[in-house]
Chains A and B, each alone.
Chain A
Amino acid sequence: MIGAMSDPLGNSLPARRPTVRRPGDTIFQFLTTASGLAIVLSIVLIGVFLLLKAVPSLAADQANFLLSPNFVTTGGKLAFGIRDLFVVTVLSSVFALVIAMPVAMGIALFLTQYAPRQLARPFAYIVDLLAAVPSVVFGLWGIKVFGPVLEPLERWLNGNLGWFPLFANGNVSISGGGTIFTAGVVLAVMLLPIITSVSREVFQQTPTMQIEGALALGATRWEMIRTTVIPFGRSGYIAASMLGLGRALGETVAVLIILRSAPEPSRISLFDGGYTFASKIASAASEFTEALPTGAYISAGLVLFVLTFVVNAIARWIAGGRVHRP
């Protein structure tokens, strides 16, 4: 910060003058800067660790890492690709988000704008409680209870809307519901508390003045929500959704339990089975004894890491772009 600065129009501004600094401020600044650096450092270290472990395996990979649908690391052969892991991960997570986003917005608006106070509190508490359910329970519930319930719906969609690629026949049987469709719906339920609680918080903070301004103009309740509450909370809602997406991308146990393993490559359908990055890695955890096969899984983990990072960056960009514009 030394030397002349310039404002957005390019006019130079005078440099900041030296001034008295209090020791408390200096110590506090040191502490906060150190914690900030520690976070950045640990992320960099994780990245470096993954990269170091992954490179030898990638070099030994006999298949195309990005495009091959197979993941073979046994029998002394290394031929792995992440295509299907990527497809299953993205498909299940995005499907989950597509379901969870509108429902979460509905719940958040209901809780903040429509529900009477006595009802809003316990209801919000119940939604938050969903976040406390362990994912293994979601997984068991998903495959034992919810999958069979969804099965007829899946069959109907497949039978009547099968011309739409996402509803076409997948690489596993729909019976029992061990499909991306079921996994996505269960993931959506898992995302609900995350997206809802953040959205509820931001919607709640819509300034009363704005709300009254809209109502005084003759807006109905819904029009008021559309003109003030939603624009005010939009960036927070989107950021919350991206947070949820990050969670869905990395969800392991529930997906592992629900998805049936598939004999064939993915057909990019919601009725596929298979593995996500996370569930694939978890499923192989007992085999992490030799360096090269382990490195193959670490490469997959690295891709998930980058994917999550990109999602977060996008969330930040969206949220920031809306908030800081005058």
Chain B
Amino acid sequence: MAKRIDIKGLNLYYGRFHAVDNVTLSIPPRNVTAFIGPSGCGKSTVLRSLNRMHEVIPGATVDGKVLLDGEDIYDAGVDPVEVRRTIGMVFQRPNPFPTMSIRDNVVAGLKLAGVRSKSRLEEVCERSLRGANLWEEVKDRLDRPGGGLSGGQQQRLCIARAIAVQPDVLLMDEPCSALDPISTLAIEDLITELKKDYTIVIVTHNMQQAARVSDMTAFFNLSGVGRPGQLVEADDTEKIFSNPGKKETEDYISGRFG
């Protein structure tokens, strides 16, 4: 559980388009790392490369290394399906399987991994829903379709689904951007709770959120339109927000950028 990630010389492409240039970054375990930066600078692209979701897009390619506790997830012998089982992901817009029941949504990953025992599925379902702070709201309607929940509930269902398989790392791409402030707080509390067990990487456009939940912050930027995005700096969140190393970072954080 909770492994560290070392990104080394990572370059990401969409066909010919060079989207992210030469990122090197270490993400410590049992920590929340926030990715911040202007739109289009490649935060989602980098995040998706951490569980090999980048290559799902036709034409998208990866160059460089991503080490999970020292082992390169892009090694020739590594099965991307296995990587995604150990590195979970929560997307910007909630995407539960709409026709599946709430219960089946939560245990979908376990079923994919071949777990069949009813009692075990039942137990994991409850534990994950409690973990995602959703149990009380849905315990009486576990057989209803996941598509019938509110947006915030759906997002927490997706978090439950992601933690049900007990991944080593949890990646979250703007998980609160479609949510109201109360659901947002609930999810932030949840993230703080989850970091005891997981390595968490979160992309956010919300500076307060980055400051509230993360231990480390990585700032990405674009040097110009059509140019690849790059990592400007990464450091303790406190330091980035109080005394960043680069002027660019300070400008962005204080709102003097775009």
Cβ of A227 to closest chain B Cβ, rounded Å:
6
Q: Which of A57-65, A165-173, A208-216, A278-286 contacts B (4 or more CB under 8 A)?
A: A208-216
| B84, B97, B158: the one within 8 Å of A218 (CB) | B84
Given contacts A117-B58, A326-B147, A326-B148, contact A216 B97 (CB under 8 A): no
Residues of B within 8 A of A218 (CB): 81-82, 84-85, 109, 112-113, 165
Give chain A interface residues in 216-234, CB to chain B under 8 Å. Answer: 216-220, 223, 227-228, 231-232
A216 contacts B165, C-beta separation under 8 Å:
no
> 6 A–B contact pairs at CB < 8 A?
A209-B95, A215-B53, A215-B56, A217-B161, A218-B113, A227-B108
Chain B residues bordering chain A, tally (CB within 8 A): 29
Q: Which residue of B lies closest to A322 (CB)?
A: B99
| Complex: A227 Cα to B146 Cα, angstroms | 14
| B89, B98, B100, B147: the one within 8 Å of A216 (CB) | B89
Q: Please tell me if B88 contacts chain A, counting CB pairs below 8 Å.
A: yes
The secondary-structure label for the interface of chain B is: mixed
Q: Please tell me if B18 contacts chain A, counting CB pairs below 8 Å.
A: no
**Across the A-B interface, the 5 shortest Cβ-Cβ residue pairs:** A218-B85, A216-B89, A213-B95, A209-B95, A217-B109
| Complex: A144 Cα to B97 Cα, angstroms | 49
B53 contacts A212, C-beta separation under 8 Å:
yes
| A210, A325, A326: the one within 8 Å of B95 (CB) | A210
Known: A216-B89, A218-B81. 16 other contacts (CB 8 A): A207-B95, A210-B95, A210-B98, A211-B56, A212-B56, A213-B96, A214-B108, A217-B108, A218-B109, A220-B81, A227-B100, A227-B108, A227-B112, A231-B99, A232-B99, A326-B145
Number of residue pairs spanning A and B whose beta carbons lie under 8 angstroms apart: 64
Residues of B within 8 A of A326 (CB): 145, 147-148
| Most A C-beta atoms less than 10 A away, residue of B96, B112, B162, B165 | B112
B165 contacts A217, C-beta separation under 8 Å:
yes
Q: Please tell me if B51 contacts chain A, counting CB pairs below 8 Å.
A: yes
Give chain B interface residues in 22-45, CB to chain A under 8 Å. Answer: none
A213 contacts B91, C-beta separation under 8 Å:
yes
Residues of A within 8 A of B81 (CB): 218-220
Q: Which residue of A lies closest to B82 (CB)?
A: A218
Residues of B within 8 A of A209 (CB): 91, 93, 95
Task: Give the bracket for the number of chain A residues in contact with chain B.
Answer: 20 to 34
| Complex: A223 Cα to B96 Cα, angstroms | 16
A228 contacts B91, C-beta separation under 8 Å:
no
Given contacts A214-B97, A216-B53, A218-B165, contact A223 B112 (CB under 8 A): yes
| Complex: A232 Cα to B147 Cα, angstroms | 13
| Complex: A8 Cα to B93 Cα, angstroms | 30
| Complex: A113 Cα to B85 Cα, angstroms | 21
Q: Which residue of A lies closest to B109 (CB)?
A: A217
The secondary-structure label for the interface of chain A is: helix
| Complex: A72 Cα to B112 Cα, angstroms | 61
Residues of A within 8 A of B53 (CB): 212, 215-216
Give chain B interface residues in 137-160, CB to chain A under 8 Å. Answer: 145, 147-148, 158
| Complex: A218 Cα to B161 Cα, angstroms | 12
Cβ of B179 to closest chain A Cβ, rounded Å:
16
Q: Mark B38-63, 1 if CB is under 8 A from A, else 0.
A: 00000000000001010010100000
Cβ of B124 to closest chain A Cβ, rounded Å:
14
Cβ of A9 to closest chain B Cβ, rounded Å:
16
A217 contacts B112, C-beta separation under 8 Å:
yes
| Complex: A232 Cα to B158 Cα, angstroms | 18
| Complex: A195 Cα to B223 Cα, angstroms | 50
| Complex: A228 Cα to B98 Cα, angstroms | 9
B165 contacts A212, C-beta separation under 8 Å:
no
| Complex: A216 Cα to B88 Cα, angstroms | 6
A212 contacts B112, C-beta separation under 8 Å:
no
Residues of A within 8 A of B51 (CB): 216
| Complex: A213 Cα to B51 Cα, angstroms | 12
Q: Which residue of B lies closest to A216 (CB)?
A: B89
Residues of B within 8 A of A232 (CB): 99
Cβ of A323 to closest chain B Cβ, rounded Å:
10
